Amino acid sequence: MGKYIIAGNWKMNKLPSETYDFIKEIEKVTMGANCEVVCCTPYVNLTEAVRAAKGTHVKIGAENLHFEDKGAFTGEVSADMLCDLGVDYVIIGHSERRQYFAETDETVNKKTIKALEKGLIPIVCVGESLEEREAGITMDLIAIQIKKAFANISAEDAKKVVVAYEPIWAIGTGKTATAEQAEEVCKGIREILGELYCVDCAKEITIQYGGSMNDQNAAELLAKTNIDGGLIGGASLVAEKFAPIVKACD
Ligand code: 13P
């Protein structure tokens, strides 16, 4: 459906001094990839990441941004700052930010609008907790997250957004959603986007799966109709583990 994108989310891992060589390694092991390859790094690693990725097929992303342009927001980073560095992507609304840093559907929406305005590609994360899944409200919750994230965004802009479905119970737990579970929700997300915009618009939007995706399960997940890529945590920190996931897009 959408363009295939495999993105690594380094979270709070790797030093700035390790970044240049690691991106070069990622470049080497993903050469000839049939999908877009993205590495999202901590803010302080971005300069080195962009320097290493320059002129290669590897794209660089940040893991967050602030929705204001500038001003008295100590410790925050603006979209203009990311653009000035040469960053292409930005993760928005990761469940860890929702859980530990008071990210809400409203701030996710503001950040998504700001990223689009500045030409950054937002990777908007949605996902349910184990409790919510067991209560049978997964799709209700995801529908709210999607509708709020896309509020006041035009169809033209919506097509540029990447959605990452990350069930919270599958993140860093080694407990992957089955390909059927992941496909069911990703299909549901596409249907909601189809209702918000149009069916053809929704087909153009990349929907990733994230949550303990690895070299063993990537091919099965990526073979599903509505899964157009992955957002990879742990396995993105080791080039030999990341490369087979990229290859699985073939
Ligand atoms: P893991 O791949 O480590 O489960 O992390 C997934 C994730 O949160 C990517 O954003």
Alpha-carbon span 46 to 49, nearest angstrom: 5
> Could you tell me the mean pLDDT of each successive run of 10 residues in the chain, 250 residues long?
94 98 98 97 98 98 98 98 98 98 98 98 97 96 98 98 97 88 98 98 97 96 97 98 96
- pLDDT at site 181: 97
pLDDT at 69: 98
pLDDT the model gives residue 7: 98
In the numeric block, which tokens belong to residue 56?
């290669």
| CATH, domain range 5-247 | 3.20.20.70
> Does residue 226 line the site of ligand 1, with CB under 6 A?
no
Ligand 1 center to 105 CA (angstroms): 20
Domain coordinates of the chain in residue numbers?
5-247
CA–CA dist 60, 66 (Å, integer): 18
Q: Which residue has the tokens 């092991």?
A: 29
What residues contact 159, with CB distance under 8 A and at least 6 apart? Answer: 201, 204, 205
- 210 CB within 6 A, ligand 1: yes
CB 90 within 8 A of CB 39: no
- With 0.95 as the threshold, say if the pTM is over it: yes
